[in-house]
């Protein structure tokens, strides 16, 4: 897995044309994405609430082959919440070893990035990063009074 995106380029890869860059709180880990997110969602499942210490998790979904870590690979921690182990077994959570910021969730083909880690021009969140729905809403710990669909 270390020889594939988002952890490494392969011979068949073209140079990543970064359109967005992100980093953890301390800056030890940085990554770039070369496309707009496919979608953005707010998750209210109990696992996300516990692991993020928040009532929900906001994530934007990218194909893994459009993401590339550019700094801090050795500072990544992988956590499989189903096994409750620090292992890179998908699906898993990625965190920074230094500041412990949640970095992303990694699935087999998708990379769920946290929009609050991106460096947006003038700190304005692009529309493509704005959530389109709530998932696991029945597990919510906080009611959301918006017009987004709730599943």
Q: Convert 28-94 into a string of H (helix), E (strand) and C (coil).
A: CCEEEECCCCCEEEEECCHHHHHHHCCCCEEEEEEEHHHEEEEECHHHEEEEECCCCECCCCCCEEE
> pTM for the full model?
0.91
Q: E strand or H helix at 106, and its extent? A: strand 102-106
According to CATH, the topology of domain 20-139 is 2.170.150
Per-residue pLDDT tens digits for 29-43? 999 999 999 999 999
- Cα–Cα distance for residue pair 130/36, rounded to 1 Å: 11
Strands 67-71 and 76-79: unpaired
Residue-level pLDDT, tens digit, the chain, 151 residues? 778 888 886 544 556 789 999 999 999 999 999 999 999 999 999 999 999 999 999 999 999 999 999 999 999 999 999 999 999 999 999 999 999 999 999 999 999 999 999 999 999 999 999 999 999 999 999 999 999 999 9
């Amino acid at each position: 897995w270390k020889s594939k995106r988002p952890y490494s380029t392969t011979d068949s890869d073209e140079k990543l044309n970064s359109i967005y860059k992100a980093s953890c709180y301390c800056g030890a880990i940085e990554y770039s994405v070369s496309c707009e997110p496919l979608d953005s969602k707010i998750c209210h499942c109990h696992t996300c609430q516990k692991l993020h210490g928040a009532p929900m998790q906001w994530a934007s979904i990218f194909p893994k082959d459009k993401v590339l870590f550019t700094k801090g690979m050795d500072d990544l921690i992988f956590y499989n919440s189903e096994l409750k182990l620090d292992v890179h077994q998908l699906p898993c959570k990625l965190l920074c070893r230094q500041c412990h910021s949640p970095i992303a969730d990694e699935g087999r083909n998708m990379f769920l990035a946290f929009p609050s880690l991106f460096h947006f021009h003038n700190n304005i969140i692009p529309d493509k990063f704005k959530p389109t729905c709530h998932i696991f809403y029945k597990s919510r710990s906080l009611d959301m009074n918006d017009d987004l669909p709730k599943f």
